[in-house]
Structure 1
Amino acid sequence: MYYHLKRATIASAILFTFNTYASDTVLPTIEVDGDREQPNLDLNAPSSTGSRLKLSTRDTPASVESVDEETMRERGDFSVRDAITRTTGLTDIATQGDGGVAYSARGFTGNNSVAVLLDGRQMMVGAGTVTDPSNTWGYGRIEVLRGPGSILYGTGATGATINAIRKAPLAESTGEALIGIGEGNTYRVGLGGTGALGSAGAFRIDAYTEGSDGFIDRGDSKANKLMTSFRLDPRSDLRIEVQLDHADQNPTRYWGMPLINGAIDDSIRRRNYNVGDAKIRYVDDRLLGRVTWEAASNLTVRDEVTYFTAKRHWRDAEEYAYNSLTNQVDRASFGEIRHWQQQVANRLEAAYKTKGNRFVAGWEISEFDFHHYSNGFGGSDSVPLQNFDSGSFAPQGIPAIPNFSSHTRGLAFYAEDAYDMTERLLLLAGVRYDNYDYTRITSSTGASFDTDLDSTAVRLGLTYRLTPNTSIYAQASTGSDPIGSLLSISLANSRFELTKGRQVEAGLKQSFAGGRGEWTTAFYHIKKDDIITRDPNNLALSIQGGSQSSKGAEFSTSFVVGKGWRIDGNVALLDAQFDELTDGTGTSFAGKRPPNVANQVANLWLNYDKRAWQSGIGARYVGKSYADNGNTQALPAYTVVDASVAWHKGRNTTFRAIVRNLGDRVYATTAYTSTQVSLGDPRHVELTAEFKF
C-alpha cells in the first residue's frame, strides 16, 4: 500500500495537464563575463512571490528578497538552505524529522509557519514534513517574502514564504554542466539544456546527482533529480506548458549529538549515534500544467493543474541523552515511519489591467490524501560515548504498521488589486478565503472524525515614490497557521481552529550612487493568537488561549564599490516572545523566547569579479537561541566564514574552489530535543568545473 499509486488518478491528471498548462514565468538569461557591476538586491526586477500582479520589488509594500542563480553559484550555495540563510533574517533549523527542510523567520518556525513553494505552488505539510526542494540546480532564482503570506498562498505562512522559481524553456539552444568533487568523497554532477521544439515550442531538461560519505561516522548520502519542461505556443494568444519532475533522496542518517552536561563536546563531534542499519529516503514526483489565454489586450485567463506525490521512509534511533551516572548515551525512540502523500489541485485565475490599475482574482480547489505508518516509537538502549557498536534497529524497534489516513479538501477564493492613486502613490489590497474539510480515519479501529477549518486573510499596503529611486511603504496584513500540520490533525486538536496572525510593517527601499548601490530597511510587529496552552482553571485541559509575538528591524544592502568589488550585507534584529503560554504543570512561559529563534542574524559577503578572476568571502552570524520553551538550555551564537575563488577560462568555462566553515567552527544549527542538537559541517573544500555550451 505504501508504494501504491492510483493509476486512474495519474492518467486523468496527465490528460488534463497536457490540455491545460502554460507558464508565464520567463526568467532572464544571465550572462557573466566578469565586471559584474549591478547590485544584488535588484529592486526593479518583477517579483512573482510578493504579489500576483508582478509588481517590482521596489513597488511591493512588503519585504521581498531574491537570490539569483549566478549569486548562488559564485558563493557555492548548492543547497537551497545555504542560499536562503544568506538572505535577511532566515535561519536553518532543519532536521531529518521535518524532511531536511525547515526555517525560522521573524520569530516563527518550521514548515507550519514558513511556507515552501515550487513555482508559486505550496506543497502542503503532513506531520511537519517537507522534502523538496533541497538543491538549487535547475532554479533561476529563489524569492523570499517575509511576514504573513496567507493572502497569496493560504494557511501556514505567518513567518515567511520561500519560492523556488525554475528556469523556463527557451527556443534558443543553450546548455550547461557542473562537475564537482570535494572532501568526504563528495561529488556532484549537473546537466541542463534548453532549445526549440519545432517552430512553436521549446523544452528544458535539468538533471542533477550528488553524494558524499559525509563528515561523521556512517554519514553517507546521495540524491538524484530530474526536472523537465515543455512549452507550446500554438497561437500568439495561447501558451501551453507541461512540467514533470522527479526527486529521490537518501540523506545522511543523522539526528545530531547529545549535549554533555548541557554543552557541545568537541570530542564527539563526528560520532553518529544512530543504529547501523538506519534508513531515510524521500521520493517526490510532481506534474504541473497551465494554459494561459490572452483573451484581450488587457485580460488574461489562466488555468493550472498540479499533481504531486511524496513517499517517505524513516527507520532510526532518533533521541539521545547523555547519562552522567553511566557515562553513556541513552538512545530512545526507535521509530519507523512511512508517509504516502498525494495532492491534486486546480487553480483558475483571471488578470485584468487598465491604465493605472491591475487586478487579479482566482479560485482554487485541492484534494489531499495522506497515509501515515508508524511503529509507535518504542525501545531504548545505551551505548558508550566513543568506540561503540552502533547496533541495529531490529532488537529495539518493530516494523511500521498503518496508523491513520486523512483526506482533506481545500477550497479558496482570492483577489488582489494594485491601483495607482497618483503617479507616485500605489495602493495594494488583497483578500483570500480558505476552507479545509478534513477527515481522519484510525487504521486499527476504523474510527473517524471530521473537522472544518476556514480562514480569511487580508492585506492593505501603500507604496510612495519619494523620488524615482526611493520608495517608502507601509502595510497591514493577516494570516493563519494550523495547530500542527494541516494534513495530520489529531483527534485532540480537531476541535481547534486555525491560529490567527496579524502584522504591521513599514520600510524604505532605495537605489543610490547612480544605481551601483541599493538598500532596504523594514520595521515590523507580528502577533499570533490562539496557540495551544493550558486552561489556568484546569491544567489537564488544553485550550486556544495562548499567544506569541515578535517585533524587529531588518536592513539589507548591496553596493558595487567599483573596479569589480561588491559588498552584500544584511542584519535582522528580533525580539520574539510568548505572550501567554502555560504547560501542564502550571509553569508560565510568558516573556520567554520560542525555541530555535535567534535574536540576531547577520550576513556579509565581499565579492571581487574582474575579467578572468572572481573571488568572495562571507560570514554568517546567528545569535543565541534556546532548545526549550523555558529558555533553560541555550544554543550558543556562532559565526561561520565561507570563501570561494574562480577562474573564468573564456566565456564558457569556470573553475571554482570553495571552502566552507573556514575557521572549522563547531556549532549547533538547531535543537532536536532539549538534550540533543544538530551540528553544522566542519571545514571542507570543494572544487567545481562549470561549462556553458
Structure 2
Amino acid sequence: MIKTILSSGAVAALLLPTLAHAEAASEAGDKSDILVFGTHTDDANTPTQTGSRLGLTVLETPASVETLTGNEIRARGDLSIVDAVTRATGISSVANPGNGGTGLAARGFSGPGSIMQLYDGVRLYPGAGTVTFPTDPWTVDRIEVLRGPASVLYGQGAIGGAVNVISKKPNAGHTEFEAEAGYGSQDSWRIAAGVGGPVDDLIAYRFDISRMQSDGWVDRGNSKGLAISGSVQLQPADSLTVTLSDDYSDQEPMLYFGTPLINGRLDERNKRRNYNVTDALMRFRDNRTTIRVEWAPSDSVSVRSTAYRLTTHRKWRNLESYFWNGATGKIDRFDFFGIDHDQTQIGNQTDVTLRSAWGGLKNELLVGFDVNSIKFRHSNDFDSDPPPPGFAEPVDPFTFDPGLYYNTFGVRPQYRTRTRQYSLFAEDRLTISDQLSVSAGINFDRANVKRYVTSYGPGGATIETLRLDKTLHNITWRVGAVYQPTPALSLYGQYATAVDPLGSLITFSIGQAAFKNTTGDQVEAGIKASFLGGRGLATFAAYRIVKKNLLATVPGSLPPRQDQVGQRSAKGLEASLTLDLPGGFGIDANGTILDARFDEFLSGGTSFNGKTPPNVPETTANLWLRYDVTARLQTRLGLRYVGRTFSDNANQFRVPGYAVVDGGISFAVTKNIAANLRVYNLFDKDYASTTYNDEQWLLGRPRSADFSISARF
C-alpha cells in the first residue's frame, strides 16, 4: 500500500522536476504518444455543443463557454465528474448524498435545479433533487460548461449554468485501445479499458469499462463503482450517420453523511469517525439507451434527432443527522430514512438547421422540439414508529457502537408522479459582416405533473388518489452580439431570461401547487482572445443575475404556510487563461469573484436581506502548471481554492474556505505505456467540501497517493 504520509524527500521529488532543465527540444523527434501534450491547441475555434445548438465556437458564442477534454481530466487524475468540472471557472461542489453526490454551484446559485446536468446534450430530470448519472470520467470524451442562464436552450432550470457531459464515440478513422490500472491510499484501486474503431466502411464501434473500489477515509467508508459505455455507429452514406449507444452505471458511494463539529469546531479525535449505522445502504443504478440520427442532405440543411430511454433505481437506508449536544457531551444521532426511487425517462430531441444568405448576409436558423414522458415512484418508511427508548440515544463522540438501521414499518410506495413535458425552441444567428454577428433564441416549455398519493386500507390494500394535477408554462429568450475586430479577438454581450423550478419538477409537491416557477434574467459582457497560434486562450466576463419570486414562510402563519416574495441576485467577474508554451510549459488558470445576496427576503418573520445564500462561495480559483521535463517525463501541479460559504440563510454557520494542492508525475516507459504517480491534497489540509446540516461537514480526501500504469495503442 502506498503510504498516505509522504516524506519530505518524496515531496521534493515531486516538485524538483519543475525546476530541471528542459530537454523537450532535443527529444521532440521521439515525443511520446502516451503523455498528454498541448491539449488546448485551437480550442477557441473548435465547435461546441452547449453554449449554442448551432455548433458555434467559443469565439463565436455570446456567452461564457468552457471545455474540459477527457484526456486532460484523466491526466490530472480527477476520479469523478464533480472533481473534473470543478476545475472549470467559477464552478464549485455542493455534492452530498442527498443530491446524489453531483450537486454544483455557479454564479451565486446551487443545486440540480439551478445548475442543469446534461448527457450528450439531453437534460437529466432530478428525482427529489437527486441526479446520480453520469459520474465516471473514464467514459467521457469532454465536458462542456455553460455559465449563466441556460433555460433558453434546455427548458426550465439552469439559472446558474449547465454542465454537458459528452461521452466517447466511435472513431471511424482508425482502431484505438487505451487502459489504466492503479492502486493507492485507502486501499483504493481502479482498472479501466476502452477500445474502438472501424469494422468496415459502414460500421464503427466504441466500448469502455471502468471499475473502482476504495476503503474510504472514514470508518466503514467503503465505496465501489462500475461504469460501462458502448456504441455502434453506422454510416450508410456520407450525409447520414446513425449511432446506437448504451451507458450503464452501478454505484455504491461512501456511506458517509459528514462529521459533526464539537463546540463549533472540527475535532481531530472524531474527524475519521462515521456516525452512520453498520448496515447502512446507498446504491444507484442508471441505464441509458440512445439512438441518434444525423442527416445532412445538403450544405444548407441538417437534421439531428436523438431518442432515448433512461432508467434509474436508487436504494437508501441511512441514519443521517448528527449534532453535538453540549449539555451531555454526546453526539445526538437521528433521522432514520429508508427511501427507494424508481424513475423512467423516455424522450426525443429533434432539430433542423437551415443555412441561407439574406441579401448577402449569412444566416443560420435552427428550430426544434424536445419531448419527455417521465414516470417516478417514491417509496419510504417515514410512517415508521419512533425508535424505542434507548435505541437512538446519544453516543460518545469518539468510541461508540454504530448500531443497526431501525425500521418497523417497511419501505412502501408513498406516491408516484407522471410528468409529460415538451418544449419548442428556435435559435438564429445573423452574420452581418466578418466582424459582427447577432444571435437570438427562444424556448417555450410546457410541463404537466400528476401526483398520485398511496394510502393503505385494511389488510394492507393500496389506495391511490390523484392529489395534484399541475401544468406549468414558461417562455424564455435571449439575445446577444459578438464583435470580432480580428479573427482571434471577440467582444460580446448578451441578455437572457431564465426560469427555475420550485424544487424538482418531477417531484413537484402538493404544497408548491399554488405557485409558479421562479424567474430571472442576466446581463453579461465579456472578451475572449486566442493567441500564440491557438496555444493560448484568455477570457474575461462580467455579469449580473437576478432571481425573483422566492418561496418564503409567511410570518405568524399557523400552521406555517408559504408565499412567493422577494429577490436574490449575484454579480461577478470571471477570468481564465490557458497557455501551452514552447519548452514544455503549460498553464491553466481561472478565478471568479462575486457578490451573491438576498436583496429582499422575509421568511418566518425574519429578514435575510443582505445575507449570502447558503452553499455559495463568493471566490474560487484554479491553477494547473504543467512542465514537460523531457519528451518522456512530465510533471503537473494544481491548486484548487474555494472561498468561505454559509450553510444557512442567516449566515450564522460559517464554513471556512480552503486551498488544496494536487500534483503528479508521468513517465513514458515506452511510446505507448506510462507510469503515473498522482498526489492529492499534498499538504494534508482538513477541509469541508460541503455540508449536510448546519454543523455537519463532509470532509474532503486527506493526503493520498495513487500509482497507475496507463497504455494507449
Q: TM-score range by the shorter chain?
A: over 0.9
What secondary structure sits across from 1:217 in the alignment? coil
What secondary structure sits across from 1:137 in the alignment? helix
Is the 8 Å Cα contact of residues 408 and 439 (structure 1) preserved in structure 2? Answer: yes
Deviation at 1:300, TM superposition (A): 1.3
Per-residue CA deviation, residues 299-354 of structure 1 (Å, 9 max, x unaligned), is: 11222211001000110000110111211111111000000000000122111112
Deviation at 1:222, TM superposition (A): 0.5
Q: Quote the Cα distance in structure 1 between the aligned partners of 2:442 and 2:556.
A: 38
Question: What is aligned with 1:120?
Answer: 121
1:687 and 2:707 equivalent?
yes
Per-residue CA deviation, residues 487-521 of structure 1 (Å, 9 max, x unaligned), is: 11111001111111110000000123454422100
Q: Quote the Cα distance in structure 1 between the aligned partners of 2:371 and 2:580.
A: 46
Q: Quote the Cα distance in structure 2 between the aligned partners of 1:96 and 1:137.
A: 22
Question: What is aligned with 1:544?
Answer: 564
Q: Quote the Cα distance in structure 2 between the aligned partners of 1:235 and 1:156.
A: 38
Question: What is aligned with 1:155?
Answer: 156
The letter for the 1-side match of 2:120 is D
**Please, which runs of 5 or more residues in structure 2 have no aligned partner?**
1-30, 456-462
Is the 8 Å Cα contact of residues 522 and 545 (structure 2) preserved in structure 1? Answer: yes
The letter for the 1-side match of 2:510 is L
Question: What is aligned with 1:190?
Answer: 192
Q: Quote the Cα distance in structure 1 between the aligned partners of 2:490 and 2:350.
A: 33
1:392 and 2:438 equivalent?
no
Query: Bigger shift: 534-543 or 81-90?
Result: 534-543
Question: What is aligned with 1:73?
Answer: 74
Deviation at 1:291, TM superposition (A): 1.7
Is the 8 Å Cα contact of residues 39 and 72 (structure 2) preserved in structure 1? Answer: no
Query: Cα–Cα, structure 1 residues 496 and 194, in superposed 2: closer, same or farther, change >3 Å?
Result: same
Per-residue CA deviation, residues 113-135 of structure 1 (Å, 9 max, x unaligned), is: 10111100111011010001111
Query: Bigger shift: 525-534 or 559-568?
Result: 559-568
Pick aligned residue for 1:635 from 611, 634, 655: 655
What secondary structure sits across from 1:83 in the alignment? helix
The letter for the 2-side match of 1:630 is A
Is the 8 Å Cα contact of residues 35 and 564 (structure 1) preserved in structure 2? Answer: no
Matches within 5 A, 1:219-258: 219-258=221-260
Q: Quote the Cα distance in structure 2 between the aligned partners of 1:197 and 1:359.
A: 36
Deviation at 1:657, TM superposition (A): 0.4
Question: What is aligned with 1:306?
Answer: 308
The letter for the 2-side match of 1:314 is W
Question: What is aligned with 2:346?
Answer: 344
1:286 and 2:297 equivalent?
no
Question: What is aligned with 1:447?
Answer: 465
Pick aligned residue for 1:408 from 419, 440, 443: 419
What secondary structure sits across from 1:70 in the alignment? helix
Query: Cα–Cα, structure 1 residues 291 and 361, in superposed 2: closer, same or farther, change >3 Å?
Result: same
Question: What is aligned with 1:360?
Answer: 366
Query: Cα–Cα, structure 1 residues 401 and 234, in superposed 2: closer, same or farther, change >3 Å?
Result: same
Deviation at 1:40, TM superposition (A): 6.8
Per-residue CA deviation, residues 409-441 of structure 1 (Å, 9 max, x unaligned), is: 001100001110111001111000100011001
Question: What is aligned with 1:494?
Answer: 513
TM-score (norm 2): 0.91
Deviation at 1:38, TM superposition (A): 5.7
What secondary structure sits across from 2:181 in the alignment? strand
Question: What is aligned with 2:588?
Answer: 568
Q: Quote the Cα distance in structure 1 between the aligned partners of 2:365 and 2:163.
A: 23
What secondary structure sits across from 1:71 in the alignment? helix
Deviation at 1:582, TM superposition (A): 2.1
Is the 8 Å Cα contact of residues 574 and 599 (structure 1) preserved in structure 2? Answer: yes
Question: What is aligned with 2:376?
Answer: 370
**Please, which runs of 5 or more residues in structure 1 have no aligned partner?**
1-29
Question: What is aligned with 1:425?
Answer: 436
Query: Cα–Cα, structure 1 residues 372 and 34, in superposed 2: closer, same or farther, change >3 Å?
Result: closer
Deviation at 1:32, TM superposition (A): 4.3
Deviation at 1:357, TM superposition (A): 1.4
Question: What is aligned with 1:597?
Answer: 616
What secondary structure sits across from 2:186 in the alignment? coil
Q: Quote the Cα distance in structure 1 between the aligned partners of 2:379 and 2:193.
A: 36
Question: What is aligned with 1:4?
Answer: none
Deviation at 1:534, TM superposition (A): 3.2
Pick aligned residue for 1:209 from 208, 211, 226: 211
Q: Quote the Cα distance in structure 2 between the aligned partners of 1:433 and 1:657.
A: 50
Per-residue CA deviation, residues 545-590 of structure 1 (Å, 9 max, x unaligned), is: 1221100000000123431011111110010011222222x00111
Matches within 5 A, 1:293-332: 293-332=295-334
Percentage of matched positions with identical amino acids = 39
Deviation at 1:375, TM superposition (A): 1.2
Question: What is aligned with 1:56?
Answer: 57
Per-residue CA deviation, residues 385-424 of structure 1 (Å, 9 max, x unaligned), is: 1121110003x66421111100000011000011101110
The letter for the 1-side match of 2:395 is V
Q: Quote the Cα distance in structure 2 between the aligned partners of 1:63 and 1:31.
A: 34
Is the 8 Å Cα contact of residues 674 and 709 (structure 2) preserved in structure 1? Answer: yes
Is the 8 Å Cα contact of residues 44 and 537 (structure 2) preserved in structure 1? Answer: yes
The letter for the 2-side match of 1:125 is P
Query: Cα–Cα, structure 1 residues 536 and 421, in superposed 2: closer, same or farther, change >3 Å?
Result: farther
Query: Bigger shift: 683-692 or 286-295?
Result: 286-295
Is the 8 Å Cα contact of residues 375 and 398 (structure 1) preserved in structure 2? Answer: yes
1:579 and 2:629 equivalent?
no
* RMSD over aligned Cα atoms: 1.7
Query: Cα–Cα, structure 1 residues 466 and 684, in superposed 2: closer, same or farther, change >3 Å?
Result: same
Matches within 5 A, 1:167-186: 167-171=168-172, 172-186=174-188
Q: Quote the Cα distance in structure 1 between the aligned partners of 2:181 and 2:277.
A: 33
Q: Quote the Cα distance in structure 1 between the aligned partners of 2:408 and 2:656.
A: 34
Question: What is aligned with 2:88?
Answer: 87
Is the 8 Å Cα contact of residues 266 and 666 (structure 1) preserved in structure 2? Answer: no
Query: Cα–Cα, structure 1 residues 385 and 560, in superposed 2: closer, same or farther, change >3 Å?
Result: same
Per-residue CA deviation, residues 33-53 of structure 1 (Å, 9 max, x unaligned), is: 669346478211111111000
Query: Bigger shift: 492-501 or 306-315?
Result: 492-501
Q: Quote the Cα distance in structure 2 between the aligned partners of 1:541 and 1:468.
A: 56
What secondary structure sits across from 2:464 in the alignment? coil
Q: Quote the Cα distance in structure 2 between the aligned partners of 1:203 and 1:285.
A: 19
Q: Quote the Cα distance in structure 1 between the aligned partners of 2:336 and 2:606.
A: 30
Pick aligned residue for 2:541 from 519, 522, 539: 522
Is the 8 Å Cα contact of residues 34 and 674 (structure 2) preserved in structure 1? Answer: no
Q: Quote the Cα distance in structure 1 between the aligned partners of 2:537 and 2:623.
A: 15
Deviation at 1:536, TM superposition (A): 5.4
Query: Cα–Cα, structure 1 residues 676 and 434, in superposed 2: closer, same or farther, change >3 Å?
Result: same
Is the 8 Å Cα contact of residues 364 and 428 (structure 2) preserved in structure 1? Answer: yes
Is the 8 Å Cα contact of residues 454 and 498 (structure 1) preserved in structure 2? Answer: no
Pick aligned residue for 1:554 from 571, 574, 578: 574
Query: Cα–Cα, structure 1 residues 198 and 381, in superposed 2: closer, same or farther, change >3 Å?
Result: farther
Deviation at 1:199, TM superposition (A): 2.6
Per-residue CA deviation, residues 457-514 of structure 1 (Å, 9 max, x unaligned), is: 1010101002121111000101111101001111100111111111000000012345
1:675 and 2:695 equivalent?
yes
The letter for the 1-side match of 2:688 is A
What secondary structure sits across from 2:131 in the alignment? coil
TM-score (norm 1): 0.93
Query: Bigger shift: 535-544 or 130-139?
Result: 535-544
